[in-house]
Structure 1
Amino acid sequence: MFSKSNAGLSVRPNRGEIIPFPHFEKPRSIGYFSIVGGVLREYEASAQQLRYYRPPSSKKFPLDLNEGLRLAIKKPEAVQEEGLDHLFKFIFDNRDRLTRPLLGSEHRKRLIAEFVCWRGLLRLLMCTPYEYRSDWSIVITRFNGTFYLWKRDTDYDKMQRAQETEQQRTFASWGFKFEQYCLTESPFLEPDTSAPVDECSEFSCVFTTKIGGLDVLYGAEMDGVVSEQPVLLDDNPTSLENLKFVEVKVRQGNLNRNQMQSYKRHKTRNWWCQSFLVGIQDIYMGLRNERGQVDRIEHVEVRSLPKQGINQWTPNVCAAFLIDFLNYVKSLMSEVNCPYTVYDFYFDSKRGTITYECIRGKSEYSFLPDYYIELMNPAKKQPQ
C-alpha cells in the first residue's frame, strides 16, 4: 500500500473573503474530431458529427422525450476506461504543429502545452470548493515537461453506476433525446427524430488557453453550432474559430422550493463552468414535465448564471481554485519526468481535503500509450 500525503491545499472558500477573478485567456479552438461507429466509439479526424442548432417548430410541441427510448444506442461501460485516448490521437495527428524539440535534445519532443486533459476535468476542479457529496480521483503523469491529467473512477463512482435507478437512466436518456429534437446534420434539414438516438457519437473541439499564466490544452464535446449555411470545416479548418457553439440542456420545468435551491446551487455552477471553458455564451434549455414532455425552450445567457446562483457560489472562487490546484501540481511534480509514474490525487468531499500518493514506474495506473511515448521520445527506449 502506498503512503498518502496531505496536499495542504485550501479547498473551501473562506466566508467573506473577496477573491479577484484571475487571469483567464479566451479559449482558442485549434482543431476538432468526431467519435463514430456507435458503441465502438472510433476516433475520426473529421467533422462528421458536427451538428447545427435548429429549434423545433411550434407545431411539434410538446416534444415527447420517451419516443424511441428503448431503441437508443447506449454508451458502453468501457467508455470509463478511454482516458485521454482520443486526445492522444488528435495530438499524434497534429504533431507537427503541436510539438517542439525538447531543449537540449536532438530527438525528444515537448508539447506546446503544460497541461493536457478534458474540459470535464477542469470543470470538476472548478466546482470542487462547493462539492460536498462526490469524491474524485485524478491521476497525473509528467513527461517531457507536460502534465497529463485523467479523472479515474473511484469506488463511489462505480457504486453509483451500479445502483443507478431506472428513473435516473431515463432522465439521462431524455437529455440525449432532447438534443435529437434540436440538432440536425444540415442547417437546411429538420432534425430527424425517427431514428434511434445515438448516445455514443460525438463532435469534439480541442482548445488552448492560458489559465493564470499556465498553458492548457483540452478537448470538449460540443452540442451544436448556430449557422444558416453549412460549415465545411474539413475544407477550411481555420473557420472553426469563428463558429458560434451553443449548449442544449433539459430540466424539469416546475420546480418546488428545494428543487429550485438545488438548481441554483448545482446546475447554474456546473453549466457556467462548462460553458465558460469553451467560450459558449448561450444555452437552450428545454423545460419538461414529469412525464418527459417538453412544453417550451428557454434561452439562457451564460453570463446570467452567476447571478442566478448568487449566495451559493462565485466564478472567482471556482477559477482561483483551478489555478491553485494546477500550480500546486506543477510545483510538487517538477522533478518528475517519466511516462509511467503517476501521482494519484484524491478529494474527500465530506472532509474537504485532498491527499495524494506517488506510484513510481509502470503500473496499472499508467495511462500514456506506447505510440505516444514513442512520438515524444523516439530515440530512447523506455525501461520496463
Structure 2
Amino acid sequence: MPAFRHRLKWDLDSGYDTAIKKDCNQNVKLENLLIWISKNREKFATRSPKGELLTSESLHTDFICYRGTLTKVLCTPYEGREDWLIGATKFKDTIYMCHYHTDSDRERQMNMSVREEHMGYWGYKFEQYMVTDEPGKAPDTEAVLNTREEYCSVVRTRLNAHSLVFGAEVDAQDPELVRKNKSSHSTSHYVELKTSKLCLSEKQHWNFCKFKLIKWWAQSFLIGIPRVICGFRDDDGVVCTLQEFKVREMPHLAKDYWSGAVCMNFCDMFLSFVKKMVTRDDPNIVYLFQLFPKEGVQCTLLENPGDYRLLPDWYIRQSHQ
C-alpha cells in the first residue's frame, strides 16, 4: 500500500494508446487450466492407507471450472437483467464447466463506446500503480501495459456435497503477510484490486453496495481472498483516494440489498441441478445451461456441440494414457 491514500491524482488513462490489449470477444474456454491439470496430475492422486500414491484416471473432484463461472452463478439471485450461458461436459466422473458469451454479451461488446473501452482499461492501469514484480520496488507506471498477462491460482474447495477445483486470476499478494506467515502458499495473502467511481450521493452509494459489492464479495469469497483495495476515481479516470474493504464485512455493509447465504444456497442448488442433468460421461457431449432473467435456468443437450465443445482432443488422449 502507498504511504498516502488520499489526494493521489493517479491518471488511469495514461498509456492507453500504447497498451497491449486483451481480446474480450474471445471465448478462452478451459485451455490454460487443462494444461495446468495435465502437468500436475499428482496433485489429484489419492493415497492408500499406507500413504502410497494411487494412480488413477479420475481427478477425484466433482467440478472443474474458472472462478468467473461460479461468480456468475453466485450473483444470479440478485441479477434481474443479464442472461448467462454455461456449458458442462462429464468426463471420467468429473464435470467440466465453462461460461460462454451470450448474444447480448456480444451485442454489448460490439456497441461499446470509446469511453467504455477506456473505462475497461482503467482497472488494469490501477493494478500497475499498485503492484511491483518484487517487494520493496516502486511501481513502474511508465512501462507499456499488457492486459493479456495474468497470474492464475488453482484452488480446491467444497460447497456442501460438491467438491470443486477452479482457476482464478489473482491481482497481487501482500509481501508482509507472506513474510509473517513464512509461506506463500495461502490465498489469505492475496489482495483483490478494484476501481469505482467516487460515491458523492446516496444513490451512488446505493448502487455501489447493491451492484458492485456483491460481485467483489463473490469473487473474493470463493478463493479465500480476505480484502479488496479500491481506488475511487472521478469521471476522468483519476484516482483520488484508496479504501480497503474486508471481504467478510461486505455482506453486512450491503445487508439491505443482498445476502451471501442466499447466493451460496443458490450456487449449491445449481450444482446439484447440473449433477442431476449431466448424466452421460462423454467428452464429446455438452449440456448447455442458460439463464433467462425472470424465467429461470434451462438445460439443452448438444450431441454435436461444435464451438461449444469444452475438452480438446489432446486432453482427452492424455487422460487415457
Percent of residue pairs identical? 31
1:112-261 correspondence runs (5 A): 112-228=60-176, 239-241=184-186, 244-261=189-206
In structure 2, the CA distance between the partners of 1:124 and 1:59, relative to structure 1 (3 Å rule), is: closer
Structure 1 residue aligned with 2:50:
none
Displacement of 1:99 after TM fit? Answer: 4.8
Structure 1 residue aligned with 2:29:
83
SS in 2 for 1:184: coil
Whole-Å Cα distance in 2 between the matches of residues 375 and 86 of structure 1? 15
Structure 2 residue aligned with 1:279:
224
Matched, 1:338 2:286: no
Whole-Å Cα distance in 1 between the matches of residues 147 and 178 of structure 2? 23
Structure 2 residue aligned with 1:72:
19
Whole-Å Cα distance in 2 between the matches of residues 81 and 63 of structure 1? 32
Q: In the alignment, is the contact (CA less than 8 A) between 1:207 and 1:219 conserved in 2?
A: yes
Whole-Å Cα distance in 2 between the matches of residues 310 and 77 of structure 1? 33
Structure 1 residue aligned with 2:262:
317
SS in 2 for 1:277: helix
Displacement of 1:190 after TM fit? Answer: 0.3
Q: TM-score, normalised by structure 1?
A: 0.76
SS in 1 for 2:311: coil
Deviation by residue 1:236-273 (Cα, 9 ceiling, x = unmatched): 9x741276111111111133333222211111111111
SS in 2 for 1:287: strand
Whole-Å Cα distance in 2 between the matches of residues 319 and 61 of structure 1? 37
Q: In the alignment, is the contact (CA less than 8 A) between 1:284 and 1:298 conserved in 2?
A: yes
Match of 2:271 among 326, 329, 337: 326
SS in 1 for 2:307: coil
Matched, 1:348 2:292: yes
Amino acid at match of 1:187: P
SS in 1 for 2:61: coil
- How many residue pairs get aligned? The number is 313
Amino acid at match of 1:65: L
Moved more, 296-305 or 203-212: 296-305
Question: Unmatched 5+ residue regions in structure 1?
Answer: 1-53, 102-106, 379-384
SS in 2 for 1:109: coil
Amino acid at match of 2:128: Q
SS in 1 for 2:207: helix
Deviation by residue 1:43-94 (Cα, 9 ceiling, x = unmatched): xxxxxxxxxxx4365698211112212111110246x221000110000000
Question: Unmatched 5+ residue regions in structure 2?
Answer: 48-54
Moved more, 356-365 or 340-349: 356-365
Q: In the alignment, is the contact (CA less than 8 A) between 1:137 and 1:345 conserved in 2?
A: yes
Q: In the alignment, is the contact (CA less than 8 A) between 1:132 and 1:352 conserved in 2?
A: no
Deviation by residue 1:120-144 (Cα, 9 ceiling, x = unmatched): 1111100011111110010100011
Q: Which one has a larger percent helix, Structure 1 or Structure 2? A: 2
Amino acid at match of 1:145: D
Bigger relative CO (Cα 8 Å, ≥ 6 apart): 1
Structure 1 residue aligned with 2:42:
96
Q: In the alignment, is the contact (CA less than 8 A) between 1:340 and 1:363 conserved in 2?
A: no
Q: In the alignment, is the contact (CA less than 8 A) between 1:56 and 1:182 conserved in 2?
A: no
Whole-Å Cα distance in 2 between the matches of residues 255 and 119 of structure 1? 32
Match of 2:309 among 366, 373, 379: 366
Whole-Å Cα distance in 2 between the matches of residues 159 and 242 of structure 1? 36
Q: In the alignment, is the contact (CA less than 8 A) between 1:281 and 1:302 conserved in 2?
A: yes
SS in 2 for 1:75: coil
Q: In the alignment, is the contact (CA less than 8 A) between 1:186 and 1:230 conserved in 2?
A: no
Whole-Å Cα distance in 2 between the matches of residues 243 and 128 of structure 1? 26
Whole-Å Cα distance in 1 between the matches of residues 177 and 201 of structure 2? 41
In structure 2, the CA distance between the partners of 1:312 and 1:229, relative to structure 1 (3 Å rule), is: closer
Structure 2 residue aligned with 1:382:
none
